[in-house]
Amino acid sequence: MASPELDPSSGVPLYRQIMGILRAEIVEGRIAADEPMTEEKLLARFGVSRAPIRQALNELVSEGFVYRKQGRGTFPVTGVRVDRPADLKPGDLYRFLEEQGLHPTSRVSGLERVRPPEPLASRLGVADDELLLHFERIIEVNGEPFAENDIYIRAPRDFAPSEAELSDGGSAFALLERAYGIAIERAEHEAWATAATPDRAGELGVAPGDPLLVIDTVFYATGGVTGWRSAVHRADEFKFRFVSS
């Protein structure tokens, strides 16, 4: 008899239900990192045939939530795993994290109008007397550091959101669209690996020298560039999925 954790009448394949249960337990740290997830234990727990158990584990391996040790079994990968679609709209990352059950929070600092650094000003075509809205955002998921964002936005001078409006789900791009009808039409991403500096290591909860993933993004609205963001992620917790249209 299938476990009460599963609903055979839901229309969702059993292996996907098992995946969802195990994924949530791994993300929330409810499965010990040194305890193998054997097929026998999962068979006894879920009361299903071996096929959905094996398929669930195979899928979790491909998603990076578990790994296999030769001769020892399958083990959970500790820490958060976020598979971020490349076509996610600007400002929707927070909502996406919420939908994944990752309980995101964010804090904003350094909100001001500034002249961007010269290489960035040249790249964005910023006039000599033009000031961009600038702020930094730290995002956490499940209480752990997830990303450090540095953001510049080209916006009308009277666009002046507060730090409170931008924290915990507040999107400057969404506010800009609602207030002025300036909508992001496309974005271009550049991604590379780097090593954590001492300051950045402290912000992201890693050791100096640990690998980080950097994703720089230029945002375009009708008429040209409207913003730039540099997002620095813990490399062990982030997967970026590229799509084509």
CA distance 61 to 155: 44
pLDDT score recorded for residue 3: 77
Q: Which two tokens stand for residue 56?
A: 């669930």
- Domains defined for the chain, CATH in brackets: 14-76 (1.10.10.10), 82-241 (3.40.1410.10)
Are the C-beta atoms of 19 and 83 separated by less than 8 Å?
no
Cα distance between the two ends of the chain: 45
- The tally of CA atoms less than 13 A away on the side-chain side of residue 53 is 17
Are the C-beta atoms of 146 and 234 separated by less than 8 Å?
yes
Are the C-beta atoms of 212 and 195 separated by less than 8 Å?
yes
pLDDT score recorded for residue 210: 87
How many helices and strands, by DSSP H and E, does the chain display?
8, 10
pLDDT score recorded for residue 92: 83
Q: pLDDT tens-digit profile of 64-89?
A: 788 888 777 888 876 666 777 777 78
pLDDT score recorded for residue 245: 47
Burial of 188 (0-12, 13-18, 19+ CB in 10 A): exposed
pLDDT score recorded for residue 206: 85
Residues of the chain with pLDDT under 50: 245
pLDDT score recorded for residue 81: 66
